[in-house]
Every structure is written in C-alpha cells, then in structure tokens.
Structure 1
Amino acid sequence: MKLVSWNVNGIRATLGKGLPEFVATERPEILCLQETKARETQVALPLEFGGYHAYWNSAEKPGYSGVAVFTREQPISVKHGMGIEDHDREGRVLTLEYPDFHLVNVYTPNSQDELRRLPYRMLWDEAFRLYLLALETSGKPVIFCGDLNVAHNEIDLARPRENRKSAGFSDEERAGFTKLLGSGFHDTFRHFYPDKAGAYSWWSFRGGARANNVGWRIDYFGVTQGILGSVKDAAIMPHVTGSDHCPVTLTLG
C-alpha cells in the first residue's frame, strides 16, 4: 500500500505541471496534498483522479493554504480540522479513519520572516500534538503526513548554520517536533535512513537552490509504534517537479 504526500503549492498550477501524470504513474492508494490554494468547486480534476474519493479542507481566505486527500478506499469517517476554532480557519488538517489506522494530512503554519508568527506556531504545534495523541486513544494507530514546516536536525537542511534563527529551523520549532516524536511518534524516513544527508523535500525558487540541492527536509510521514512494524519503506522523490516541494512516500506491507 503506497501513500504519497505532496505540498503542491497550488493544485490548479500543479495540474498543468505533471500532477496527473504523476498520479497515473505512481497510482498511490492514498494521495495527500497540502497548500492546495483552492476550493473543490474551483478545480476540474482530470481523468487520472477518476478512481479516487476526494476530500477537501479549504481555508476561509481564498487562494490560501488548504489540504486535500484522494483515496481509493472510502474511509469510515472524515474530520475537517482539529475541532479548535482558532486553528481551523486556514484549512490545515484533514483526518480520515480507516479500519486499521487514522490518517492525518497536515499543513503546519509557517513562522514567517523574522519569526513574526512563531508564538502562534508554537500554540499550533502543541494543539496538533495533543490532537494526534487523542486520536491514538481510540485504539487505532495514527499516521500523520504533510508539510510540517520544520527541519528537525542539522542533517535535514543544507545550510544549518546560516538558518539557525530562520523560520523552519528555530530552536523553538525544532524542540516542538522533538516533543512530538517524544510522545510516541516515529519519523519514518529517519527510521530507515538515520544518517542519510542531502535528502531534502523543499527548495527555494531562488538562486538555483534545487539544481544545487540546497534544500530542506520539511515534509514527513510520522507513525505511532502500533503501525511501525507494517512500514516497509519511506522515500523522498526529488526528481518529481511541479512545485517547490517534492513528494514523500510511505509504503505499508
């Protein structure tokens, strides 16, 4: 079973930059998209999406944020947001329940230039952590995926020294992700490849960053212990273009 997560930086744009072809080639059982920047009614999906059930959570603000999940198996239930009004206006969380696990697609807020949104970001991180833990109490394992907007350790970005106080690599954001993992979650890519350097999922559009692989690993699949034994691989697909992010994948056996 293949799951794919991809921040498409605007689904309408990416539909013209290889997304349909990617779906036709990879044929994931579940496809989670972030930063869709559109409502469902604004998107004309091509034939490649014909075999999927589609679920969307869009921001109140037009053309901003948003997540979507395309799944071949119809879920038992779908939840939009975390049930916290202050955090649910931007369309950042979508939860699907399946017979064997909960799947959470997330697009974590960016702390922005000069970390001006960091205080809100830290409130968000804690709310999201508690939300995932509450899901786990249902008795089913939890899988979360998406753009977490944090490079956890120095190995996860090309230039850690220069970005020490930048959004996505502040001490506070890194500590928040450490706390999440310490609550019983596993970073699946690092589970399989603990020492692999140069493995990134986002590159700036500026300065030839992607061509020179000056990137960040900020897109993740995380799982609870109860399903870790079923995870066969976790991968990053830097060769797939169409966005400033590339897809990341999880294979379940």
Structure 2
Amino acid sequence: MKLISWNVNGLRAVVKKDFVKIFQDLDADIFSIQETKLQEGQIDLELPGYHQYFFYAQKKGYSGTAIFTKEEPLNVQKGLGIPEFDDEGRTLILEFPQFYLIDSYTPNSQQKLKRLDYRMRYDDALRDYMNELATKKPVILCGDLNVAHEEIDLKNDKTNHKNPGFSDEERNKFTELLNSGFIDSFRSLHPDEEKYSWWSYRFNARKNNAGWRIDYFVVSNNGKDLIQKADILNDIYGSDHCPIELDLTLGD
C-alpha cells in the first residue's frame, strides 16, 4: 500500500500546477494533503476512484487538511475534540481495518516563537491522542509537522537554532513523541541521508537545496513491521514543499 503526504500550500493554486497529473502518476492508495487553504464548495476536484474527506479551518484561506483514499475508511473523525485546534482544521483522522491514519498540519510557532505555547499544547494533545489510539491498532501520523528534528534535517542548522521549526522546545517535543512509542519512518530507514521536504521561496533555496525536512510519516512501534519504504519525492514541484511517501506491507 502506498501513502503520500504533501503540504500543497493552497490546493486551488497547486491544481493550476499539474496537481491532478502528479496525483494520477503517483497512484497512491491514500493521499493526504495539508494547507488546503479553502472552504467547502470552493473547489470541485475530480479524482475518480477516490473517496474525498476535507477538514476546513473556520478562517478563510487558511490551514486545512484533506485525505483522498481508494479504500473507504471505517470511520472519519475531524479534529481532536479540542476547539482551539479544531477551529483551524489541522487534524483529520481516518480509521482503516489495519491502522489509524492521522493527517496533521502542525501549527507553525511563528517569528520570535510568538505562537510557541499554542504549538506546545497541540503537540501534547496530538501525542496523547496517538498513544490512546495505538493501544487498539497501529497509528500512522503524516503531514507537515513544522519541525526539523536533528541537525541533519536542515541545511543551515547553526544559523537556524532557536528559530521557528528548529527551537529546542519543538525538537524536544518530537523526541518526546518518538520516545513514547513511535518511529520516524524515513530516518529509521535512511539514518545518514540528507534530504529535505521544504524550501523557502527566498534566496533560491530550492535551487541551492538549502532546505528543511519537516514533513513526516511517523509510525507507532506496533506498526514497525508494516514499514516497507519511506522516501522524499523532491523532484516534484508545485509547492514550497515536496510530497513524501510511505509504502506499507499489509497482510490479509
């Protein structure tokens, strides 16, 4: 089973940049996106063979998540049940027979870390929820988690220390998540590979590959044996992020 996750930085914008062709070429079983930046009725996306699920932010043109899946899920849950996060459409949860899939657009802590406290509360709530679900079946978290975990996960680690996405607080929360029973799928299979999933639009960052790895597939320990392949598809354009991939080996 192939899973794709992509922060599209505006679904209506990326549709004008060959999104449908990219989507068809990737032929994922489940395709999760973040930062849809739209409201209900603002797009009519034809994706034959896929069930479509959207979770919109209350604020127009902001945040939002969506999942397109060939297999109809057993259950769909929009949000964590916490209004301060759910109002921004950040978390979409689908239950399948063999695992839970959580699509997350984790809050950016913003310049001077002015939204760090909000971000920390989200991280804690999401981790607690993931651990609760993991007592029932494997959990897969995907999305833009807005943190480069280690120095290897961004090009300029020294100049970015304490900046949004590479603060000690955010990195420690990701460590706490992993220590609570989860695996960074890409890093587990590629311990020394320097590969990025996001580049600033400034300073020719993508051309110079001065990027960050802030998009993840995180898998609970009880799903470790499901992991077959994890990759970052950095040859695909259309957003300031590129898609990431997780392939699973599922039994009958």
Same fold (TM over 0.5): yes
Deviates more, 1:82-91 or 1:29-38: 82-91
Q: Distance in 1 between matches of 2:39 and 2:231?
A: 29
Q: Distance in 2 between matches of 1:121 and 1:26?
A: 32
State the Cα deviation string for residues 22-64 of structure 1 (Å, max 9, x = none): 1111110000000000124111213xx1110000001000010
SS in 2 for 1:238: coil
1:72 counterpart residue number: 70
1:192 counterpart residue number: 189
Which AA in structure 2 matches 1:181?
A: L
1:4–1:30 contact (8 Å) kept in structure 2:
yes
Matched ranges for 1:111-130 at <5 A:
111-130=109-128
Unpaired segments ≥5 residues, structure 1: none
1:154 counterpart residue number: 151
2:231 counterpart residue number: 235
Which AA in structure 1 matches 2:100?
A: H
Which AA in structure 2 matches 1:217?
A: R
What is the number of residues matched between the two proteins?
249
1:212 counterpart residue number: 208
1:39–1:56 contact (8 Å) kept in structure 2:
no
Q: Distance in 1 between matches of 2:147 and 2:23?
A: 26
- Taking structure 1 as the reference length, what is the TM-score of the superposition? 0.97
Q: Distance in 2 between matches of 1:194 and 1:106?
A: 24
1:81 partnered with 2:69: no
Q: Distance in 1 between matches of 2:85 and 2:42?
A: 24
Q: Distance in 2 between matches of 1:249 and 1:146?
A: 11
Identity of matched residues, %? 53
Note the C-alpha offset of 1:181. Answer: 0.5
1:37 counterpart residue number: 37
Runs of 4+ residues deviating >2 angstroms: none
1:110–1:167 contact (8 Å) kept in structure 2:
yes
Which AA in structure 2 matches 1:191?
A: S
Which AA in structure 2 matches 1:224?
A: S
1:18–1:241 contact (8 Å) kept in structure 2:
no
1:17 partnered with 2:17: yes
State the Cα deviation string for residues 209-250 of structure 1 (Å, max 9, x = none): 000000000000000112111211000011100000000000
Q: Distance in 1 between matches of 2:117 and 2:65?
A: 23
- Taking structure 2 as the reference length, what is the TM-score of the superposition? 0.97
Q: Distance in 2 between matches of 1:41 and 1:135?
A: 32
Unpaired segments ≥5 residues, structure 2: none
Q: Distance in 2 between matches of 1:177 and 1:227?
A: 18
1:151–1:216 contact (8 Å) kept in structure 2:
yes
State the Cα deviation string for residues 54-75 of structure 1 (Å, max 9, x = none): 0000100001000000000000
Q: Distance in 1 between matches of 2:80 and 2:56?
A: 14
SS in 2 for 1:241: coil
What is the Cα-based RMSD across aligned positions, in Å?
A: 0.7
